[in-house]
Amino acid sequence: MKRTNLSIGKLFLLTALVMLLLGLIFGVLSTISYLVPDFLKDTLGFTTLRPLHVSSAVFWIILGATGCVYCCLQFYTDKELSNFADLTQWVLWIIALAGIFNSYFTKSFGGREYWEFNPIWALPITIAWIIFLVNFVKISKKIKDWPVYIWMWLTGIIFFLFTFIENYLWIFSYFREHFVTDMTIQWKVNGSLVGSWNQILYGTAFFLMDKFENNKHVGRSKLAFGMFFLGLFNLMFNWGHHIYTLPTEQYIRYVGYIVSMTEWIFFVRILYTWKQTVSDVQKHYHYFPYRFIIAADIWVFINMGQAILMSIPAINLYTHGTHITVSHAMGTTIGINSMIIFAACFEFFDFKRETSKIVTNLSTLSFWFLQFSLLIFWLSLIMAGIKKSIWQMSENQSSYSKMMVSLTPYFTTFFVAGLGLLISFTILAIVLIKTYWKNRFIIHLK
Amino acid sequence: MKPIHLFFSLCFLFLIYTLSIYLTPLTVAKMSTIDSEKAVSGRIVWQKYNCQSCHQLYGLGGYLGPDLTNVVSNPKKGERMIKQILKYGVKQMPCYNMPNDDYKCLIEFLKSVDASGLADPRKYTISKTGMINQK
Ligand code: HEM
């Protein structure tokens, strides 16, 4: 039998792509509920569709991040990474996914926002993650003089585990007894979980940049380490910006505010290196993985600008509880996280061996269609958010339902742009899966 | 300073910060008007029926339906209206035929949320530092 090159990393990336496709379909279906209130109301309804969408999207990112780390680590070891423990990790994920989807379809909820499934299914995820940590430590121990991305992966993996467990403290009634503390912990968790997968994916982006440029400087520079620690500092302490209106302890709100403002440093740095970025783009545009990294960079810039403004309490008062928050959540998970995972997939599935001109052109077209759809998608949510914000602040409010009906044009635009995302992402995902299939027997030697 | 030292120092600070948050429930007095046992179960009822997929509390949650933080004390809404809405549903919201126990706990939970503060953004003032505070 001919041996294939299916490594554990690729297995995770392929699984993640399936979650992406499911997530997109559920996303479009949940948006129909906005436009047609009775849509599937007596069966799935928004109650089930939203969790299906959000969980699939989050799993696309987490599984994608896992795949990225494994694929990158393969460059540090001669041995095949796939062993019994890795496979157990993957099987545990499959068990969890099956349980979670079943939990949603049978409406057996019980969890919280983003994790609405029956909490029992958090168990296989936790065990899978512990296996991931052990595997990671075993491999990275052998690497000398760690570049910054190994640090980023390690902290991402550790903090994800810590926060994911913290995510279930509400099971103990001690924590539920005081509603405000309970909410504080819930949003501490949500903030840090996102920070953790960002560490893993930004680490992947650093790794890819090092690889593209054929140099080992990016990952070992003082600046890179400075940025890593600033990111970690924010992961730990900036989450207070989610809960400015919650009557929690004053110091928590100030810590969130002050720490969030250190993100201006990232922002200014991007501005500062803008010229360099533009010349790099011109040099490497033809190379697909690089193109996705650049797209992620631009979305970092846009989303970070928005996020820092929203972290100022006086502005947050207006944006909080509106679709501006949704635009931020999806703007970052699609624009930044998804672009980095796509860059990694194009790199590790060896897209450059794909010579067919039609496929290359189709991919370029889908790439641009994706960026354009995302921009419209993001703007329509912001517009809907601004209108709701004006309504929230006005002294003689019309009824909630009247306000929502007046947002229909924005939600329609949102729906159409969402279809654009569905189409472009689907084409790119199919190209990737086909590329994987075509190259499955090519085994690289180190 | 070596990266590893900085890393552990930050982790240490993080753990202290985390612990201080975990201990806050010990320092707050319970509200006498609320059956806290029921409210604690009511939180679970809220999750069991997934009200959070459409509703927010303090602006956090799903965005299809309205914020429910202060719905109980709203003179135009209140408990009676909640009962009606749960029974018949409205717009995208399905009807819920929940057992009476669940209903009672849910109401007690919503009461405890309501008593904790105001979520209406019009009820805030902005200070010079840019921080916001409840009026
Ligand atoms: C890679 C693609 C996508 C990712 C990673 C993603 C991620 C997310 C996340 C994280 C949320 C939670 C937002 C929050 O609670 O603030 C969300 C909500 C949502 N997404 Fe997406 N999304 C994607 C694509 C789409 C598409 C194509 C549509 C369809 C038009 C869509 C429609 C929605 C809707 C309707 C919500 C719920 C908003 C609400 O609560 O009312 N998403 N998505």
Which is the closest atom of ligand 1 to the Cα of A113?
15
Both tokens of residue A348? 């590790």
Please indicate whether residue A385 or residue A287 has the higher confidence score (pLDDT): A385
Q: Ligand 1 centroid vs A418 CA: distance in angstroms? A: 9
**A55-84: burial string, b at 16+ Cβ within 10 Å, e else:** bbbbbbbbbbbbbbbbbbbbeeeeeebbee
Question: Does residue A145 form part of some domain?
Answer: no
Has the ipTM of the complex gone over 0.85? yes
Which of the listed residues A56, A330, A366, A382 should we mutate to test ligand 1's pocket, taking the one with most ligand atoms within 8 A of CB?
A330
Determine, for residues B132 and A313 on separate chains, whether the beta-carbon distance falls below 8 Å: yes
**SS3 state at A439:** coil
Residue B53: name the closest of A373, A104, A153 by CA.
A104
Determine, for residues A175 and B25 on separate chains, whether the beta-carbon distance falls below 8 Å: yes
Mean pLDDT of chain A: 92
**Scanning the structure block, which residue is given the tokens 């027997």?**
A441
Element (H, E) at B126: strand B124-126
Q: Ligand 1 centroid vs A420 CA: distance in angstroms? A: 14
Q: Report residue A76's pLDDT band, with 50, 70 and 90 as the boundaries.
A: confident
- Residue extents of the structural domains in chain B: 28-134
Provide the β-strand partners of residue B93: B90
Asked if B53 contacts A116 with a C-beta cutoff of 8 angstroms, the reply is: yes
Both tokens of residue A69? 């780390």
User: How far from the centroid of its chain's Cα atoms is residue A403's Cα?
Assistant: 31
Question: Does residue A296 form part of some domain?
Answer: yes
pLDDT of residue A280: 77
Question: Does residue A15 form part of some domain?
Answer: no
**Scanning the structure block, which residue is given the tokens 């730990």?**
A236
Domain extent at residue A378: 262-446
Q: Return d(Cα A183, Cα A264) in angstroms, integer.
A: 27
Domain count for chain A: 1
B40, B97, B111, B122: best to mutate for the A interface, most A CBs within 10 A: B40
- Provide the phi-psi class of B134: left if phi over 0, else alpha when psi is between -120 and 50, else beta: beta
Please indicate whether residue A206 or residue A97 has the higher confidence score (pLDDT): A97
Q: Ligand 1 centroid vs A354 CA: distance in angstroms? A: 32
Burial status of residue A391 (CB atoms within 10 A of its CB: 0-12, 13-18, 19 or more): middle
Using a CB–CB cutoff of 8 Å, tell me whether A110 touches chain B.
Answer: yes
- Chains A and B form CB pairs within 8 A to the count of 164
Q: Ligand 1 centroid vs A191 CA: distance in angstroms? A: 17
> Cβ contacts of residue A225 below 8 Å, gap of 6+?
A148, A151, B3
Q: What are the angstrom distances between the C-alpha of A386 and each of A389, A404, A446, B37?
A: 5, 12, 53, 40
pLDDT of residue A380: 98
Residue A2 pLDDT greater than 80, yes or no: no
Q: Return d(Cα A227, Cα A224) in angstroms, integer.
A: 5
Q: Report residue A432's pLDDT band, with 50, 70 and 90 as the boundaries.
A: very high
Q: What are the angstrom distances between the C-alpha of A410 and each of A172, A375, A414?
A: 42, 13, 6
The neighbour count for residue A3, using CB atoms within 10 Å, is 9
Asked if A224 contacts A269 with a C-beta cutoff of 8 angstroms, the reply is: no
Which of A109, A173, A317 comes nearest B132 by C-beta? A317
Determine, for residues B124 and A155 on separate chains, whether the beta-carbon distance falls below 8 Å: no
Which of A45, A170, A225 comes nearest B94 by C-beta? A45
pLDDT digits (tens, 9 = 90+) for B120-134: 999 999 999 999 998
Q: Using a CB-CB distance cutoff of 8 angstroms, which residues of chain B are in contact with residue A246?
A: 58, 60, 117
According to the 3-state scheme, what is the secondary structure of B97-123? CCCHHHHHHHHHHHHHHHHHCCCCHHH
What stretches of A189-339 adopt beta strand conformation (E)?
none
Determine, for residues A252 and B21 on separate chains, whether the beta-carbon distance falls below 8 Å: yes
* Domain CATH for A364: 1.20.210.10
Q: Which residue's alpha carbon is at the smallest distance from atom 38 of ligand 1?
A: B63
Residue B111: name the closest of B25, B24, B36 by CA.
B36
Asked if A8 contacts A86 with a C-beta cutoff of 8 angstroms, the reply is: yes
Which of A211-220, A223-232, A336-345 shows the lowest mean pLDDT across its residues? A211-220
pLDDT digits (tens, 9 = 90+) for A236-295: 999 999 999 999 999 999 999 999 999 998 888 877 877 777 777 777 777 888 899 999
Residue B102: name the closest of B118, B82, B116, B88 by CA.
B82
pLDDT of residue A446: 44
Whether ligand 1 lies within 6 angstroms of the CB of A27 is answered as: yes
Given the DSSP bridges, would you call strands B60-61 and B56-57 parallel, antiparallel or unpaired? Answer: antiparallel
Please state the rounded mean pLDDT for residues A37-52: 91
Residue B133: name the closest of A183, A242, A314 by CA.
A314
Element (H, E) at B47: helix B36-48
User: How far from the centroid of its chain's Cα atoms is residue A418's Cα?
Assistant: 17
**Scanning the structure block, which residue is given the tokens 């010229």?**
A275
**SS3 state at A349:** coil
Give the predicted TM-score (pTM) of the model: 0.95
**Scanning the structure block, which residue is given the tokens 């930050």?**
B10
User: Which letter does DSSP use for residue A145 in this model?
Assistant: S
Question: Does residue A74 form part of some domain?
Answer: no
**SS3 state at B132:** strand
pLDDT of residue A443: 66
Q: What is the CATH number of domain B28-134?
A: 1.10.760.10
What DSSP letter does each residue of B54-102 carry, written as one string? T-EETTEE-SSS-B-TTTTT-TTSHHHHHHHHHHH-BTTBPP----HHH
Long-range contacts at A370-374 (CB < 8 A, ≥ 24 apart) = A370/A420, A370/A421, A370/A424, A370/A425, A370/A428, A371/A295, A372/A420, A373/A417, A373/A418, A373/A420, A373/A421, A373/A424, A374/A299, A374/A331, A374/A334, A374/A335, A374/A417, A374/A421
How far apart are the CA of A47 and the nearest CA of chain B, in angstroms? 6
Q: Return d(Cα A388, Cα A52) in angstroms, integer.
A: 25
